[in-house]
């Protein structure tokens, strides 16, 4: 699978109605976009970090389908104007592969989808990057609240910086993320060192995106 994520910030003065309108617009326009096999626009849940107001995720069978969609008439005539910067909108956008994943939990369950968009230091040794990726992939083994998950590399990005990785998970509820995941020893005892500026092993930039939305069924496939 190949995916596109838009993290959309409508500005400091954005109203709840403006956020709802953006969610509805993106939801309605998905039906006209070629190659899209899954789509979800949702209001970013509280306690996000750089998560904007709306998160919009599209899934494609392949990278080729993604590029075809980007060049299509519906995208150019409807999506680009709706997300134009002159409307006061700021967007972080990442197109990425799901290189490692587990979707054995199935699709027909409500819950939350959460993602972390990050950037590894360009000067980090290749061996350190590989170890970081291996440590990230240990978490589903130990954190039982994680349902479906995927970890992949960014192919194309726009926004605050050059993003490199996307780590996404699904949970039954917010407590599965905030209690079981965040407080688990595998998280704070091993993985956090790659992010902590006070740890010598840190290779992940302190600027990242963390956000979640409510889902009716699985997004990761």
With a cut of 90, say whether residue 180 has pLDDT above it.
yes
**What is residue 53's predicted lDDT score, i.e. its pLDDT?**
98
pLDDT at 27 over 90: yes
3-state secondary structure (DSSP) of residue 39: strand
pLDDT at res. 109: 84
Predicted pLDDT of residue 196: 95
> What is the rounded average pLDDT of the residues 33-43?
96
For residue 60, what pLDDT is reported? 97
Residue the block writes with tokens 């910030």: 9
Residue 82 to residue 68: CA distance in whole angstroms: 19
pTM of the model: 0.95
The pLDDT tens digits for 147-176 are 999 999 999 999 999 999 999 999 999 999
Q: How far is CA 81 from the centre of its chain?
A: 23
pLDDT tens, 185-211? 999 999 999 999 999 999 999 999 999
Distances (CA, A) of 157 to 50, 162, 166: 16, 6, 11
Domains of the chain: 2-215 (3.30.70.100)
- Sequence-distant contacts of 37-43: CB under 8 A, at least 24 apart: 37/61, 37/221, 38/219, 38/221, 40/113, 40/213, 40/215, 40/219, 42/213, 42/214, 42/215, 43/19, 43/213, 43/214
Is the model more confident about 12 or about 163? 163
Q: Quick one: which of 191, 164, 220, 212 has its CA closest to 46?
A: 212
92, 145, 211 from 96: Cα distances, Å: 13, 24, 17
| CB contact at 8 A, 155 and 96 | yes
The CB density around residue 14, as the number of other CB atoms within 10 Å, is 17
Per-residue pLDDT tens over the stretch 53-103: 999 999 999 999 999 999 999 999 999 999 988 778 999 999 999 999 999
Per-residue pLDDT at 106 = 84
Tracing tokens 């479906």 back to the chain, one arrives at: 148
Question: What is d(CA 39, CA 150) in angstroms, rounded to the nearest whole number?
Answer: 16
Q: What is the pLDDT of residue 108?
A: 79
Residue 9 has pLDDT above 90, yes or no: yes
Of 219, 47, 66, 212, which is closest to residue 149 (Cα–Cα)?
Answer: 219
What is the structure's pLDDT at 123?
93
pLDDT single digits (tens) 105-153: 887 789 999 999 999 999 999 999 999 999 999 999 999 999 999 999 9
């Amino acid at each position: 699978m190949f995916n596109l994520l838009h993290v959309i910030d409508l500005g400091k003065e954005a109203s709840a109605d403006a956020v709802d309108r953006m969610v509805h617009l993106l939801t309605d326009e998905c039906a006209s976009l070629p190659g899209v096999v899954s789509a979800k626009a949702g209001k970013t849940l509280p306690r996000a970090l750089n998560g904007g107001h709306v998160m919009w995720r599209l899934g494609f069978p392949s990278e080729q389908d993604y590029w075809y969609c980007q060049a299509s008439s519906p995208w150019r005539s409807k999506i680009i104007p709706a997300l134009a910067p002159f409307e006061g909108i700021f967007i972080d956008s990442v197109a990425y592969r799901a290189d490692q994943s587990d979707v054995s939990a199935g699709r027909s369950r409500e819950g939350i989808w959460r993602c972390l968009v990050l950037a590894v230091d360009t000067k980090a040794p290749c061996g350190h990057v590989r170890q970081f990726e291996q440590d990230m992939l240990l978490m589903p083994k130990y954190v039982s609240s994680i349902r479906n998950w995927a970890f992949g590399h960014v192919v194309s990005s726009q926004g605050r910086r050059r993003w490199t990785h996307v780590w996404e998970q699904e949970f039954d509820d917010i407590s599965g993320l905030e209690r079981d995941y965040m407080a688990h020893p595998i998280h704070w005892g091993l993985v956090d060192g790659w992010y902590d500026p006070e740890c010598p092993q840190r290779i992940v930039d302190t600027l990242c995106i963390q956000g979640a939305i409510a889902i009716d069924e699985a997004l990761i496939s």
